[in-house]
Amino acid sequence: MNIFDIMGPIMVGPSSSHTAGACRIGYVARQLLGEELVEAKIKLHGSFAATGKGHGTDKAIVAGLMGMMPDDERIPDSFNIAKEKNIKIEVVKEQLKTECANAAGLELSSASGKKLNLIGASLGGGRISIEQIDGIDTRFSCDYPTLIVRNIDQPGHIAEVTSTLAHKSVNVATLNLYRDKRGGFAVMIVETDQDIPESAIKWIEHLEGILKVTYINISKEI
């Protein structure tokens, strides 16, 4: 246990679960979208829906979607900042398919027309879990440097990714695989003990059958 676990995250309050965690969900979603956001529909679930307004959950998610971290003093003004950037924001309350009490579903669109649907849950203390990406069930926290590989479900991708990381002396902490159906779309979540060099990410991006590669290392941002 470290001091972060005891005291919680450095953040703009009032709640680590409803504010800091919400901001991190938005931040991770922005990274996964990979392009400038133009429209977001935010679905608040469970206690996010019940008490999120008072805790600034909606403002925190919007702040994260614009690349802010939980300690950013601009979080309370995130809706105005989004409006200045011509980002359309809609917030609704909706029951989502998740067992987590604090959760949000995000439907995002970029300027080029790219879409991303995501469900993220806040676990307390600023920690999060990404529960779903584009209809595929997942579970990862981004507590470690995290590589998210979206690919066609076909043989060889696991070996290609892990051998590339091994070549760069990057140790895999955890590796989890998810897919919508056999031969369909798949998501590979690789958490590592070291930062992943950009050259390794670029190599993986150009492998046949790889649809998108996203690398998130929140520790470098805080």
In this structure, the answer to whether residues 47 and 114 fall within a common structural domain is yes
Q: What is the overall mean pLDDT for the chain?
A: 90
Boundary residue ending a domain (140, 158, 192): 140
Res 8: pLDDT: 45
Sign, CA torsion 167/169/170/171: positive
Question: Could you tell me the pLDDT band of residue 4, with boundaries at 50, 70 and 90?
Answer: very low
**Last residue in a domain, options 109, 140, 171:** 140
* Number of domains the chain is built from: 2
- pLDDT category at 14 given cuts 50, 70, 90 is very low
Residue in the block written with tokens 């579903």: 105
- Please write down the long-range contacts of 111-114, taking CB distance under 8 Å and 24 or more positions apart: 111/35, 111/36, 111/38, 112/35, 114/33, 114/34, 114/35
Instruction: Write down the pLDDT at residue 7.
Output: 36
Stretch among 1-5, 9-13, 109-113 having the lowest mean pLDDT? 1-5
Q: Are 105 and 157 found together in one domain?
A: no
Reported as a single tens digit per residue, the pLDDT across 119-138 is 999 998 889 999 999 999 99
Same domain? For 85 and 43 the reply is yes
Q: Residue 81: give its domain's CATH number.
A: 3.30.1330.90
Residue ranges making up the domain that contains 104: 3-140
Whether 133 and 159 map to the same domain: the answer is no
CATH number, domain containing residue 182: 3.30.70.260
Element (H, E) at 118: strand 115-124
Domain boundary among 81, 108, 140: 140
**pLDDT (0 to 100) of residue 220:** 65
Cβ atoms of 21 and 102 within 8 Å: the answer is: yes
Residues 75-102: pLDDT tens digits?
999 999 999 999 999 999 999 988 888 9
Instruction: Report helix, strand or coil for 3.
Output: helix
Question: pLDDT per residue over 154-202, tens digit each?
Answer: 999 999 999 999 999 999 999 999 999 999 999 999 999 999 999 999 9
